[in-house]
Structure 1
Amino acid sequence: MNLVVSLLIIVNIFLIIGRKIVSGNSCKSYGPPINYEFLVSLRKWDNIKETYKHQCGGTLLNEFLVLTAAHCVVNQSIVVAECCKIDSLMYNGPVSAVETVLHPDYNPATFKNDIALLRLESPLHHKNNSGFARLAPPIYKDFNNLGMNLLRHCVSVGWGSAMVHCTDVTPVHIEYCRTKNHQLYPMREINSNIFCTTKGDSIDSGGSVICNNFLYGVTIWQDSSVGLTVNQRIDRNLRFIFDSAIVKSFNPGLKIFHFKFIILINLICSFLL
């Protein structure tokens, strides 16, 4: 049975292989080589300082679509500034977000399904369509055992300050994470759509968690007292992402079939496990 699941995951990886993260750069402030051009800054207008103020991180899926945490954008007028060169603080933008789609089951009280999509008014271009995040393939339902072994090396990417920062993080067993967080935040839900990592040094809401060059998580919150970061799993949200009307408008025809097939593989994996 494990062989069947492994083969399904391998097939899924090949189906997504075209959505590449740009390579050849590193976060200069920390750690191993890691791509950063998919990370954008979500900002809102500050009336006092009369400038756009950083609100959250976001991940560029294509030139028009940004993935982030729902609590970052609910009831907010958001613009996006794209980081172009990590060492020069140069930005493209700001570009207004003209449409926001929250997960239909998002619960702000419990942070359940804390994930959202933004459609930009104008495109953020990358050379040769590089710099867009490669979405995670399906993995084991509860993100334990083999699932955690597959993701031993993960990097949290976020706006720790004015610069983009990268931090090595390690996946944490969900039961341990649930116990620790319940002690401090009994209302916050830790379910199978969540995966937790060790605390990063430079993490903000809506930031990216990259494992094996795939986008596996969107950061929801971090608690320094327990040393954990809670992330929304991407592989468990493929249906929301690709069933969204704003995503379908940019992925017509054969690509939609591929993503529907990815969702089918995810369901089969969940059933087998």
Structure 2
Amino acid sequence: SVYVHMYTKGLICAEAPFNHNVHNERVIGGHDAKPNTWRWQISLQMDSYNDGSYYHLCGGTLIDSFFIMTAAHCILSQYRVVVGEYNLYEYDGSEQFIRVEKIDVHPQWTGDLAKGNDIAIMKLANPVYDNGYVAVADLPAPQQMLPHDFICYITGWGLMDYSGSVPAVLQVAPINVVEHSVCSQPEWWGSIALRSMVCAGGDGIISGCQGDSGGPLSCYTDGAWRVHGVVSYGPSGMCNQVTKPTVFTRVSFFLEWIFSVSSNTIDP
């Protein structure tokens, strides 16, 4: 198994790529999502041993028929993207498996989660087609910040508990936004909670965990479901700790860069 942990100040570990013995790596405190609901959620999968068996590594969001948004810390090597995924261990008939052609990591990503910019855009070799099981995500307004306790939803195939249980089926959980003025307090995440991040959770019950990285924080704002965050980090050790919410890259702060990269559909 490949374990990748990134620590900063001993506290954070990336909800990061690593494999258990099973062919996958949940949202903690969540439940099975209804099939065909969170249609912009994708599974980022890697063939670690070049033997044709793929492992779920991270989540991501479909933002265009050719482009996927994920976390920079998820970027390790060659991937395939699976859209329309629901049960990782079964062929549902709704999936599309697409090769990644090009990856743009944010130019200010340093590998240090505390410095932010944990975002990357992947260009697909072929466009996703609308088979009724996929949808391009709507994004928030520029610089938009959500109010304290606003309820969003986290989805993913990450760990379900500290003992390392992994789900077959996509998990979902309601998770409350913790506004920056609270999340940046010393007993919360302190100075490593930047305005370019969204904090959510921290109740000790619901959180993201390993394998959820790169996946969406979906919030119903301005009349539509919009992806406001990309799962970035959480506490090392147990994922669902009080006053240590899951931290997301705040999509509304990166729109200009996202559009500049994803508008380049045809390579020069």
Structure 2-normalised TM-score? 0.68
1:234 aligns to what?
Answer: 251
- Give the secondary-structure state (helix, strand or coil) at the position aligned to 1:135: coil
Work out the percentage of aligned pairs sharing the same amino acid: 24
Asked whether the equivalents of residues 228 and 251 of structure 2 are also in contact (C-alpha less than 8 Å), the reply is: yes
C-alpha spacing 1:44/1:30, structure 2 compared with 1 (3 Å): closer
Give the number of equivalent residue pairs: 211
Rounded Cα–Cα distance in structure 1 between residues aligned with 2:207 and 2:91? 20
Select between 200-209 and 116-125 the one with higher mean Cα deviation: 200-209
**Equivalent of 1:214 in 197, 201, 226:** 226
Q: Which runs of 5+ in 1 are unaligned?
A: 1-27, 251-273
Letter in 2 for 1:157: T
- Give the secondary-structure state (helix, strand or coil) at the position aligned to 1:241: helix
2:62 aligns to what?
Answer: 60
Rounded Cα–Cα distance in structure 1 between residues aligned with 2:68 and 2:256? 16
Rounded Cα–Cα distance in structure 1 between residues aligned with 2:172 and 2:67? 22
C-alpha spacing 1:56/1:80, structure 2 compared with 1 (3 Å): same
Is residue 135 of structure 2 the alignment partner of residue 131 of structure 1? yes
2:126 aligns to what?
Answer: 122
1:83 aligns to what?
Answer: 84
**Equivalent of 1:164 in 170, 176, 179:** 170
Deviation at 1:116, TM superposition (A): 0.5
C-alpha spacing 1:68/1:247, structure 2 compared with 1 (3 Å): same
**Equivalent of 2:260 in 235, 238, 243:** 243
2:109 aligns to what?
Answer: 106
Rounded Cα–Cα distance in structure 2 between residues aligned with 1:85 and 1:231? 23
Matches within 5 A, 1:8-27: none
Deviation at 1:164, TM superposition (A): 0.9
- Decide which structure has the larger Cα Rg and report it: 1
Structure 1-normalised TM-score? 0.67
Asked whether the equivalents of residues 72 and 106 of structure 2 are also in contact (C-alpha less than 8 Å), the reply is: yes
Rounded Cα–Cα distance in structure 2 between residues aligned with 1:201 and 1:190? 16
Asked whether the equivalents of residues 83 and 89 of structure 1 are also in contact (C-alpha less than 8 Å), the reply is: no
C-alpha spacing 1:34/1:154, structure 2 compared with 1 (3 Å): farther
- Give the secondary-structure state (helix, strand or coil) at the position aligned to 1:192: coil
Asked whether the equivalents of residues 159 and 207 of structure 1 are also in contact (C-alpha less than 8 Å), the reply is: no
Rounded Cα–Cα distance in structure 1 between residues aligned with 2:170 and 2:87? 6
Greater RCO, 1 or 2 (C-alpha within 8 Å, sep 6+): 2
RMSD of aligned residue pairs (Cα, Å):
3.0
Rounded Cα–Cα distance in structure 2 between residues aligned with 1:219 and 1:115? 9
Asked whether the equivalents of residues 59 and 157 of structure 2 are also in contact (C-alpha less than 8 Å), the reply is: yes
Deviation at 1:63, TM superposition (A): 1.8
C-alpha spacing 1:139/1:32, structure 2 compared with 1 (3 Å): farther
Q: Which runs of 4+ in 1 moved over 6 A?
A: 31-34
Asked whether the equivalents of residues 60 and 132 of structure 1 are also in contact (C-alpha less than 8 Å), the reply is: yes
Rounded Cα–Cα distance in structure 1 between residues aligned with 2:36 and 2:219? 10
